[in-house]
Structure 1
């Protein structure tokens, strides 16, 4: 078992390592990107990467407090589903109005890798290999469709 401080330290080390690994990679628009803290530039839409004990995930989270607007955003992403799937090269899970770890109702489009543990440095290459191509593909997708979300 790890103490809270040790868990926090190891997770921080992972994200620093991931950020350093991704630093030379520019975004689809040609600019530098802070990959671990990716900013979509659209309020209430986030690209989230998680590395936990037991899984890693990457996805789009729609966190608008108005559930009707959240559903509207989700439907807008559905319009671009074929483009997203083509960019990613795989199907992701689509979840409308689910509860997150903080008890908030959100919607998300995500891919999960089970069986990895961020606390085990031996799993870091597998986690990074999972996250890297997917966040790059999300960036390329977002570079094309972001204007469709800026007017909301």
Structure 2
């Protein structure tokens, strides 16, 4: 069992190394980018990556408090679903209503991987292989699709 401080340190080390590894890649529009803290430019909309001892997740998450606003954004994503799926090369899970780790209502389009632990350094290559191509694909998608979401800026 790891102490709270050890858990924090291992996660920090993984995400720092992942960020350094990803820094070798520019965004789809050729710019330098902070891959670990990807900025979409839309309030309450982010690309999220998580990993723990059993499950890893990569997602597009939007967290507007108003369900009707989340529904509108879901409808907008559905307009782009064919493009998103083609770029990702796989079907992701679409969930309008779920709770995040703080119990807050959010909407997500996501993919998970089970069986790899952020607490085992021997699993880190598999975690990186899970996150990297999907994050690059999300960036490629967002470089084109972001203009269709400008109505949600504010």
TM-score (norm 2): 0.97
Q: What's the offset of the Cα at 1:99?
A: 1.2
Match of 1:51 in 2: 51
* 1:98 positional shift: 0.9
- SS of the equivalent of 1:106 reads strand
Q: CA deviation at 1:10?
A: 0.3
- Structure 2 gaps of 5+ residues are none
Question: In structure 2, what is the equivalent of residue 133 of structure 1?
Answer: 133
**CA deviation map 1:7-34 (0-9, x unaligned):** 0000000001101111110001110010
Please tell me whether the aligned partners of residues 55 and 116 of structure 1 are also in contact (alpha carbons under 8 angstroms): yes
TM-score by length of 1: 0.98
**Secondary structure, aligned partner of 2:8:** helix
* Shift, 1:57, TM fit: 1.0
SS in 1 for 2:115: strand
Alignment RMSD (CA, Å): 0.6
The aligned counterpart of 1:121 is 121
Equivalent residue number for residue 25 of structure 2: 25
Contact 1:62–1:74 (8 Å) recurs in 2? no
Deviation per residue, 1:75-131 (Å, 9 max, x gap): 110110000000000000000111111111100000000001000000000000000
Deviates more, 1:3-12 or 1:49-58: 49-58
Contact 1:28 1:140 in 2 (8 A): yes
Residue by residue over 1:30-63, the C-alpha shift from the partner in whole angstroms, topping out at 9 and shown as x without a partner, is 1001001111111111100111110111110010
- Within 5 Å, which residues of 2 pair with 1:66-77? 66-77=66-77
The answer on whether the counterparts of 1:15 and 1:36 sit within 8 Å (CA) in structure 2 is yes
Which ranges of 4 or more aligned residues in structure 1 deviate by more than 3 Å?
A: none
2:115 is the alignment partner of 1:108: no
Alpha-carbon deviation of 1:143?
0.4
Measure, in 2, the Cα distance between the counterparts of 1:100 and 1:92: 18
Structure 1 unmatched ranges of 5 or more: none
